């Protein structure tokens, strides 16, 4: 099967392309690197047509979090990317669109994020612009499903980590801690600063596992309502920092910058539907995943490639 992968050169996109290949599919990555600016429909639409793809997987996004980026730009870019991809895929009669969402699309107050509750509550102000743009993408696809019977699925992911993260260019939270701890060891520093209290609990998805889950969902899932992909296991920021320190063999200590926001206190996905529908769960434990990530960062110098 030919599968177009929007954002296929980014951290997640590269792993999705690899997982597709391993499962007998033919991925074609496209992004600004290949001259396709997804914010411009007149550029994107002919590019989608030329792929002759049966499926499009949308890994493209302008990613942001606490203290990152301009809220207006994040909203506009993600809204345009989502709107144009959905519309271009439908117009081109691509058989299936697979949209990827970060877990910030869930209301902040939910402890375990169940798909049935994903629109039931308020989103934290610090994440509102990015999250609402993603929710708008689902609403557009929901309308296309109702009016045109267009087939799209929507997968919600935990915080990602793993080899090849964008370690020096707004890395994911676990990746940022890897950078701090490994660099402290190399530079003989005995302390590392953690933003906030270290108490918030997060679920961490090893990127190779999550990419496999995305491909399985592409093959097996056909409902318009979202499906969580993850382990459903949470760890505090402090616990993760200690595991990274052990993996890097760094013996220093952590201090906390309490001027920085914690963000939502707990973000863990309910993955019971995923296990039932896909008959699968991520195989990589947190210890093995962190060791692989730390080893990759050490061996590759934290090299980044920021074009997705």
Concatenating the DSSP letter of every residue in 91-140 gives HTT-SEEEEEEEGGGS-TT-SEE-GGGTTSSPPPGGGHHHHHHHHHHHHH
Give the number of other CB atoms < 10 A from CB of residue 67. 11
User: 152-169: buried (b, 16+ CB within 10 Å) or exposed (e) per residue?
Assistant: bbbbbbbbbbbbbbbbee
Q: Is the pLDDT of residue 25 over 50?
A: yes
pLDDT of residue 71: 83
Domains, the chain, in order of start with CATH, read: 2-159+204-228 (3.40.50.720), 162-202+233-265+284-300 (3.90.25.10)
What is the mean pLDDT of the segment spanning 34-41? 95
Q: What Cα–Cα distance (Å) separates residue 141 from each residue in 30, 84, 96, 175?
A: 21, 11, 11, 32
Q: What are 57-99's pLDDT values in tens digits?
A: 999 988 754 445 588 888 999 999 999 999 999 999 999 999 9
pTM here is 0.93
Contact 51, 205 (CB under 8 A): no
The whole-number average pLDDT for the span 99-107 is: 93
Q: What is the pLDDT of residue 68?
A: 52
Which residue matches tokens 């499926």? 55
Mean pLDDT of the chain: 91
Three-class SS of residue 42? Answer: helix
Rg (CA), the chain: 19
> What pLDDT was estimated at residue 110?
80
Counting Cβ atoms within 10 Å, is residue 104 exposed (0-12), middle (13-18) or buried (19+)? buried
Q: What integer pLDDT is reported at residue 173 of this predicted model?
A: 80
pLDDT at site 308:
54
- Rounded to an integer, the average pLDDT of 211-222 is 98
CA distances, 171 to each of 64, 77, 259 (Å): 10, 19, 20
138-165 pLDDT, tens digit each: 999 999 999 999 999 999 999 999 998 8
Using CA atoms, how far apart are residues 299 and 283, in angstroms rounded to an integer?
24
Question: Is residue 291 within 8 Å of residue 228, measured between CB atoms?
Answer: no
Q: pLDDT value at position 47?
A: 97
Residue identified by tokens 């929901």 is 142
pLDDT, tens digit, for every residue of 108-135? 888 779 999 888 888 888 788 889 999 9
**C-alpha distances out from residue 298 to 89, 280, 295, Å:** 40, 31, 5
pLDDT of residue 302: 56
In whole angstroms, give the CA distance from residue 71 to residue 90. 29
Residue 233 is given by DSSP the state -
Per the CB < 8 A criterion, the answer to whether 182 and 174 are in contact is no
- Which pLDDT score is estimated for 129? 87
**What pLDDT is stored for residue 282 in this prediction?**
97
Do residues 107 and 247 touch, judged by C-beta distance below 8 A? no
């Amino acid at each position: 099967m030919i599968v177009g992968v929007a954002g296929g050169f980014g951290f997640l996109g590269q792993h999705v392309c690899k997982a597709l290949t391993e499962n007998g599919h033919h991925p074609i990555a496209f992004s600004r690197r290949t001259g396709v600016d997804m914010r411009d429909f007149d550029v994107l639409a002919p590019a989608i047509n030329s792929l002759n793809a049966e499926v499009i997987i949308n890994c493209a996004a302008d990613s942001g979090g606490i203290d990152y980026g301009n809220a207006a730009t994040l909203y506009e870019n993600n809204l345009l990317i989502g709107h144009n991809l959905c519309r271009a895929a439908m117009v081109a009669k691509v058989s299936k669109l697979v949209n990827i969402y970060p877990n910030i699309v869930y209301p902040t107050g939910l402890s375990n994020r169940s798909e049935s509750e994903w629109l039931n509550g308020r989103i934290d102000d610090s994440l509102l612009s990015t999250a609402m743009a993603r929710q708008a993408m689902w609403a557009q696809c929901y309308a296309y499903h109702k009016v045109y019977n267009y087939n799209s699925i929507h997968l919600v992911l935990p915080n990602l980590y793993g080899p090849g993260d964008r370690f020096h260019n707004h890395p994911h939270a676990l990746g940022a801690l890897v950078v701090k701890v490994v660099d402290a060891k190399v530079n003989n520093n005995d302390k590392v600063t953690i933003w906030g209290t270290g108490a918030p609990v997060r679920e961490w998805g090893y990127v190779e596992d999550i990419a496999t889950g995305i491909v399985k969902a592409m093959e097996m899932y056909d409902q318009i309502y979202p499906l969580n992909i993850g382990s459903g296991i949470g760890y505090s920021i402090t616990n993760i920092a200690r595991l990274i320190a052990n993996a890097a063999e760094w013996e220093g200590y952590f201090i906390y910058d309490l001027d920085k926001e914690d963000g939502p206190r707990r973000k863990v996905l309910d993955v019971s539907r995923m296990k039932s529908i896909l008959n699968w769960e991520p195989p990589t434990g947190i210890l093995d995943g962190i060791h692989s990530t730390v080893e990759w960062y050490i061996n590759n110098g934290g090299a980044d490639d920021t074009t997705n």
